[in-house]
Amino acid sequence: MAKAKHGNVAIFVPHNGCPNMCSFCNQRTISGQSAQPDGEFVRKTCEDALNSMTVDPQNAQIAFFGGSFTAIDRALMVSLLQAAAEYVETGKFAGIRISTRPDCIDEEILSILKRYHVTDIELGAQSMDDRVLRLNRRGHTAEDVEKASRLIKQAGFSLGLQMMVGLYGENRGDIPSEGADKTLTERTMYTAERIAALKPDGVRIYPTAVLKGTELARLFEAGVYFPPSVDMAVECCADVMEFFEKKNITVLRVGLHASETVEADVIAGVYHPAFRELCDNELYFRKILRIVEKKADKKAKIYVEPHSISKAVGQKRKNIVRLSSLGYDVCICPREGVAAGEIETES
């Protein structure tokens, strides 16, 4: 089997018994149902990955995800890191990445992470608006995100930041509303701008899905929370992606991982198994529109890299239909050498 170039070995570390009460999290309702990995599990997972030859050790990392890695029991955290570090020290994997909360980073924790060859740290910032953080019971402030980000960068780690779109208090109609004149995109861009100022190496954008058993589900059912539709979230995330692109900040992910568990638990809000593709469709639409708008005859032949034809055309030919309804006649063709996400046209 061919080796994947940048495959990571992903190990989910639940925060069983988490004392926080984030509005979007169903940890409390599923508490105890997620098995906690131990050092042996880490070793077995790494061995399985190496044996299946699906990863290239030169590029692959061991990724502990779950969102609160440095907040779990300290002895457990160290035992997981020790097991993973053996594979980095013997050159079998390139490094270790973790994700955690901004208020669970300090110099002492960073020195432990460094000792065990962690290279990348992602923080769940979620919002940089203290009002939104408070309404969603995150238990940390925007300043915590800034302070943790500075420490992470100063210590030489790669920094990733995660943000959410459409949390409680960000949407028109949410009660209590403040600044009701602001759109979801304006509120989201505020967070994106403060995140960009921290100069992360990458960002992940998660539109809010309302899961059963969460505080958001209660607020939604009580009629005080109005999460965005998929279409609104696509519009907003495309704006944010364009913004990060201009700032040369890599967007590592947009939308939740497709999963049957999430699908079964979503009662409202934004969940689509191919959410990023919808955003990529929108970005292509905008780029094509900017070209064809300048054509006096309203016609254009657009070239994209061969693998991106379906993204440029859109799901169910949505982009072609939209352009046609605006009176434009656009032909989208493959051309080798066009950069991913870019378009070319005849001059």
Residue 150, CA distances (Å) to 65, 114, 123, 193, 247 in order: 21, 16, 12, 16, 18
CB of 209 to ligand SF4, least distance (A): 13
Strands 299-304 and 344-345 turn out to be antiparallel
Binding footprint of ligand SF4, residue count (CB under 6 A): 10
Residue 241 CA, chain-centre distance (Å), reads 11
* By the rule CB under 6 A, 117 interacts with ligand SF4: no
Work out which of 101, 194, 204, 311 binds ligand SF4, going by CB under 6 A.
Answer: 101
Helix axes 74-89, 39-52, angle to 10 degrees: 30
* By the rule CB under 6 A, 140 interacts with ligand SF4: no
Q: Which of residues 52-81 bind ligand SF4 (CB under 6 A)?
A: 67-68
- Whichever of 133 and 343 has its CB closer to ligand SF4, that residue is 133
In this structure, are residues 26 and 212 in contact, taking their beta carbons and an 8 Å threshold? yes
Which among 22-30, 48-56, 210-218, 291-299 is the span making contact with ligand SF4, rule CB under 6 A? 22-30
CB of 216 to ligand SF4, least distance (A): 12
Q: Spell out where the chain has E strands.
A: 9-12, 61-65, 95-100, 118-126, 158-165, 202-207, 209-211, 250-254, 266-269, 299-304, 329-334, 344-345
- Whichever of 64 and 87 has its CB closer to ligand SF4, that residue is 64
* By the rule CB under 6 A, 167 interacts with ligand SF4: no
* By the rule CB under 6 A, 22 interacts with ligand SF4: yes
- Whichever of 129 and 282 has its CB closer to ligand SF4, that residue is 129
Q: Which two tokens stand for residue 73?
A: 């029991």
- Whichever of 29 and 250 has its CB closer to ligand SF4, that residue is 29
> What sections of 19-155 are H helices per DSSP?
27-30, 39-52, 74-89, 107-115, 130-135, 142-154
In angstroms, rounded to a whole number, what is the distance separating the alpha carbons of residues 195 and 224? 28
CB of 128 to ligand SF4, least distance (A): 17
* By the rule CB under 6 A, 160 interacts with ligand SF4: no
CB of 165 to ligand SF4, least distance (A): 16
* By the rule CB under 6 A, 100 interacts with ligand SF4: no
In angstroms, rounded to a whole number, what is the distance separating the alpha carbons of residues 208 and 9? 26
Work out which of 8, 9, 11, 27 binds ligand SF4, going by CB under 6 A.
Answer: 27
CB of 41 to ligand SF4, least distance (A): 19
The strand order across the sheet containing 329-334 reads 329-334, 299-304, 344-345
**Sign of torsion over alpha carbons 322, 281, 258, 235:** negative
Sites of contact with ligand SF4 (CB under 6 A): 15, 18, 20-22, 25, 27, 67-68, 101
